[in-house]
Structure 1
Amino acid sequence: MSIELANESGVDVPTDLVLDAAKFAIARMDVHPGAELSVIFVDLDTMADLHMKWMDLPGPTDVMSFPMDELTPGAGRPDAAEPGPATLGDIVLCPEFAQAQAKEARHSFDHELAVLTVHGVLHLLGYDHADAEEEREMFGLQNAILGEWYDDRRNRDRAAHQSKRDEDLLRKIGFADVDED
């Protein structure tokens, strides 16, 4: 999976967190591992311009998604080859807007960026929230992915912590050069 990040916002953003959330969401949605994605962080003025140009809505917003390839699972001939990697498209995030939104919702900026990243990925995959039924489906899926992602991160952190403790213990008792599997 290839994810390109560009920060044109002037705001320091936790890019590792955004990459991790995007990779997890893409994998969870069973997208081909060779898929390509671009995530761009922009300032308020740029986001307001994009919002007006593409949605005909004034002012900035938190996230916009611009799909590239048409993803139609199950479409085509039964004897067609399996679909290969695709260019999913671009997710455009506005960190300044996200910071204000996180403060208003009383959660962290990191959490807000994770939510917006997963939200953007789902939009690229064709999910929307234009009506109540679509909204229930998309936000239910978004919340499930975020919950699984947080569980996965906790498990990875625990495993890394345990590995570090094991290495320290082995070093302490004289097995500093023990090969790891």
Structure 2
Amino acid sequence: MNIDLIDETNQVSSEHADLVEEIIVFTSEYLSLPEQVECSVTFVDNKRIQEINKEYRGKDMPTDVISFALDDEVDGEVAIDLEKIDSMFPHHIGDIIISIDRAREQAQELGHSFERELGFLALHGFLHLNGYDHMTPEEEVEMFSLQKEILKTYGLGRDGRA
């Protein structure tokens, strides 16, 4: 698993960047993804994520995390059969954008650590890149149960690392 971390805020400590990388690698292994999978995580502020949210989702407000999955099928595009691609080549599954401002705000609102919130947002975004969603009640149950299971197994509870 290769992860490109980009900090546009200059506010992310090496410990927090390591946490995000660790939980994504852990989740990749938990989901039994091929080693050649790669993604990027960009840390931004509320102003920047609001611009992205408005441009791509039509919502003029800051949000906590946005994922752009490259494997999502789009009408009119030719589907790529990834099984036929040589497993030796890296496969970029998409990009995760996390608002550091919203992560701090939500950690305070929810009464848990910034580390727990940051890890949760990275995990949530990564699951979206891997086809999980919460648009229907059934999808929500599946995705949120998996999130809870992974966070518990990883050891990242509501108070930070367990």
TM bracket (short chain): 0.7 to 0.9
| Paired residue secondary structure (1:66) | strand
Name the stretch that deviates more: 44-53 or 5-14. Answer: 5-14
Identity %: 37
* 2:17 is aligned with 1:12: no
Mapped partners of 1:26, 1:8: distance in 2? 25
Structure (1 or 2) with the greater helix fraction? 1
* 2:100 is aligned with 1:95: yes
Deviations 1:23-46 (A, max 9, x none): 111111111111111000011111
Mapped partners of 2:49, 2:12: distance in 1? 17
Q: How does 1:33-52 map to 2 (within 5 A)?
A: 33-52=35-54
Mapped partners of 1:31, 1:12: distance in 2? 27
Say if 1:67 and 1:88, in contact at 8 Å, map to a contact too. Answer: yes
State the Cα distance separating 1:129 from its structure 2 match. 0.6
Q: How does 1:62-101 map to 2 (within 5 A)?
A: 62-70=64-72, 81=84, 84=87, 85-101=90-106
Deviations 1:146-176 (A, max 9, x none): 111118xxxxxxxxxxxxxxxxxxxxxxxxx
Output the TM-score relative to the length of structure 1: 0.74
State the Cα distance separating 1:17 from its structure 2 match. 0.5
Q: How does 1:1-181 map to 2 (within 5 A)?
A: 1-13=1-13, 14-70=16-72, 81=84, 84=87, 85-150=90-155
Mapped partners of 1:53, 1:30: distance in 2? 33
Amino acid at match of 1:140: S
Amino acid at match of 1:8: E
Mapped partners of 2:127, 2:67: distance in 1? 9
Name the stretch that deviates more: 80-89 or 21-30. Answer: 80-89
Deviations 1:10-65 (A, max 9, x none): 42341010110111111111111111110000111110011111111121100000
Output the TM-score relative to the length of structure 2: 0.83
Equivalenced residue count is 146
| Paired residue secondary structure (1:48) | helix
| Larger RCO of the pair (alpha carbons < 8 Å, separation 6+) | 2
Amino acid at match of 1:99: R
| Paired residue secondary structure (1:127) | coil
Deviations 1:45-86 (A, max 9, x none): 110011111111121100000112359xxx96xxx6586342
Structure (1 or 2) with the greater strand fraction? 2
Larger Rg: 1
Mapped partners of 1:140, 1:83: distance in 2? 33
Say if 1:4 and 1:37, in contact at 8 Å, map to a contact too. Answer: yes
For structure 2, the residue ranges without an aligned partner over 5 or more in a row are 74-79, 157-162
For structure 1, the residue ranges without an aligned partner over 5 or more in a row are 152-181
Amino acid at match of 2:2: S
State the Cα distance separating 1:2 from its structure 2 match. 0.9
